[in-house]
Copies of this chain bind each other. A is one copy, B any other.
Amino acid sequence: MLKLLSLLLLTFSFTVVADDDWRTPATENLVYMQLDTGLVVVELAPFMAPKHVAQFKALIKEGFYDGLDFYRVIDGFVAQAGDVNEQKASQHKGALAAEFTRSVATDSDFMLVQSPDFMAPQSGFLYGFPAGRDPDTKQEWLLHCPGTLAMARNNDANSATTDFYITIGQATRHLDRNMSSFGRVIYGMPAIQALHRAELNNSSGVIEDVSKRSKILWIKAAEYVAPAQRISVQVQQQTSAAVAQRLASARTLDNEFFHFKGNGNLDVCYYQLKSRLVTD
């Protein structure tokens, strides 16, 4: 049992947590995805990609994704879903202008964690999302950490329409500032990780046998989910004492479990803000 207790420390859990250390995302920014592997809840990021959020919500409202599937799933990379044949009709499938980054807003709540980051001048959190920032260009953006939701596109930066992907492996940071990220899974990553993958030798990642693809039963805005199907998910406040303590401890590995104390650098994608379920 000793080994168990010790390894627990690796998760940097803290049991003393004040209620105001957690926030409940706005209902209008929550999306439920009922997959055949389980329920997933996504928090949308309209502050970064308002047009992508608006189109996604319009598509959801008309039931565009219901019955479609995850047709391209590459372990360690992305799970991509939607209308692979681009045959499904919709009033809301126009090409979207890229929303890869945004100009730093004067009221941005960006919280610096790491500077320089390995892939950006700065990384940290922005409204609870892992984010990057460049003080020179005065741009900020969402990072492609595990659980990031973004729209697929072709080579044209302004070509996303309906199909989306969720990152499922080591952070695909080369997609940062190249794709319009517009949300993040805050509940149900195990259901995403359980999605059926393409076979090993299938380099395209497209699962040809449609019957093997994991299905989207439905996707709904939270407000349209029946109360009995709702759950109450909260996310750590990036400014909470618990997060500050976790990051400080991670930076120095100030625990007798660690014999090598690291170099002080933090990978924000590993230290994403935690979620919890609240029950009455």
Binding site for B on A (CB under 8 A): 1-8, 10-11, 13, 15, 72, 74-78, 80, 84-86, 98, 100, 118-120, 145-146, 152-155, 157, 159-161, 163, 165, 168-178, 187, 189-190, 193-194, 196-197, 199-201, 203-206, 250, 253, 256-260, 262-263, 265, 267, 269-270, 272, 275-277
Cα separation A265 to B171 with both chains bound (whole Å): 13
Q: In chain B, what residue has the closest Cβ to A8?
A: B204
Instruction: Say whether, besides A171-B170, A171-B267, A201-B276, A154 and B194 are in contact (CB < 8 Å).
Output: no
CB distance from A263 to the nearest CB of B (A): 6
Copies of this chain assembled into the complex: 2
| Residues from chain B with Cβ under 8 Å of A176 in the complex | 260
Contact B260 A177 (CB under 8 A): yes
Q: In chain B, what residue has the closest Cβ to A15?
A: B203
Cα separation A206 to B175 with both chains bound (whole Å): 34
A173-B270, A178-B253 given; name 13 further pairs at CB < 8 Å.
A2-B154, A3-B86, A3-B152, A3-B159, A3-B161, A4-B72, A6-B153, A11-B77, A11-B203, A75-B189, A118-B265, A155-B256, A157-B259
Q: Which of A13, A169, A259, A275 has most chain B Cβ within 10 Å?
A: A169
Contact of A260 among B75, B100, B276 (CB under 8 A): B100
Q: In chain B, what residue has the closest Cβ to A160?
A: B3
